[in-house]
Homo-oligomer: A and B are copies of this chain.
Amino acid sequence: MKHTLRDLAAKLGCHLLGDGSITVSSVSSLQSASSEGLVFVEDAQYLDAAIASPAAAIIVGDFAAGNFAASTAKSLLISAQPRLAFARAAKLLRDVDRDQAIHPSAIVAASVKIGEETTIGAGSVIGDNVLIGNQCRIDANVTIYSGTTLGDRVIVQAGAVLGSEGFGYVRDSKTGRYEQFPQIGRLVIEDDVEIGANSTIDHGALDETRIRRGTKIDNLVHIGHNVQIGENLVIAAQTGLSGSAIVEDNVIIGGQVGIADHVRIEEGAILGAQSGIPTKKVIRGKGVVFWGTPARPIREYLKELAFLSRSAKKER
């Protein structure tokens, strides 16, 4: 869907320098720019390359606000957050009207309720009493178990499994055999959550697992039963959260992080890739990066690594 630069500037809250009647139809990188394409520059050193590219126009940081020479060569959309404006422009250019669309090969139980403009991909299986909000996108071969609830604008990529049974067993001390602890709770996914391919999220054991609004989850992530995840987290690929972990708002979790059961990660902490948080541990520190297993503040961890490296070299 084409837009004029004038229209985009208004919708994105950008300041327009240059010809607002030019139309653009797509976004691209500098290397693959085309004559109807929009590129972005957040670092002044790339501005000349962007101007020299075939792109129709440039979204650029406010460092370029006074650069009239640039704007005579190429129209500029100036933004305090040029990467964000570029992301939003891409969305506007991609947007099409859509209807609710359930692929005929999807298996959707009769009791499922599906909102407006939601799409369900081929081969997906949606169990009894699942609720799915408006404008969700469920891709192909997804499985959503009975009783799961999804808010609005939730995206679930291919192969993800939502609402599987948690991993809870009771060992019979006489026979040594494991008996499943009841897994009868539910899973609630709030608005604007996005879930990557082949990730798995278990429903609660007796109560609920919940992923709060705006949290983004990468591929092959595991989230166990009873986990409570706050708003606006990013959780990178292959990370795992064990049963009953609590993660507060705005936490950033790197890839392959392991979070044991009953851990609490307090607001705004940052967990480096591959770090590990042992059982029942509390991690506290807004904006503090933690690393290693067991995870500690990265300053401490780096000092330990440096000490170890020096000491081992000193020995013969």
Chain A residues in the interface with B (C-beta under 8 A): 26-29, 31-32, 81, 83-84, 86-88, 90-91, 94, 103, 105, 107, 121-123, 125, 127, 139-141, 143, 145, 157-159, 161, 164-165, 167, 169-173, 176-182, 184, 192, 194, 196-198, 200, 202, 206-207, 214, 216, 218-220, 222, 224, 232, 234, 236-238, 240, 242, 250, 254-256, 258, 260, 273-274, 276, 278, 292-294, 296, 300, 303-309, 311-313, 315
Q: Which residues of B contact A300 (CB under 8 A)?
A: 309, 312-313
13 new A-B contacts, CB < 8 A, other than A157-B165, A242-B273, A258-B274, are A27-B184, A87-B179, A123-B141, A159-B159, A159-B200, A164-B219, A177-B192, A178-B214, A222-B237, A224-B237, A274-B274, A274-B293, A304-B309
Chain B residue at minimum C-beta to C-beta distance from A276: B274
Q: Which residues of B contact A28 (CB under 8 A)?
A: 184, 206
Tell me the minimal C-beta distance from A233 to chain B in angstroms.
Answer: 9
Q: Which residues of B contact A165 (CB under 8 A)?
A: 157
Choice from B164, B173, B242 contacting A197 with Cβ under 8 Å: B164
Task: Flag if A182 contacts B87 (CB, 8 Å).
Answer: yes
Known contacts A159-B161, A312-B304: A200-B206 contact under CB 8 Å = no
Tell me the minimal C-beta distance from A62 to chain B in angstroms.
Answer: 13
Copies in the complex: 3
Chain B residue at minimum C-beta to C-beta distance from A268: B176
Choice from B27, B83, B222, B256 contacting A258 with Cβ under 8 Å: B256
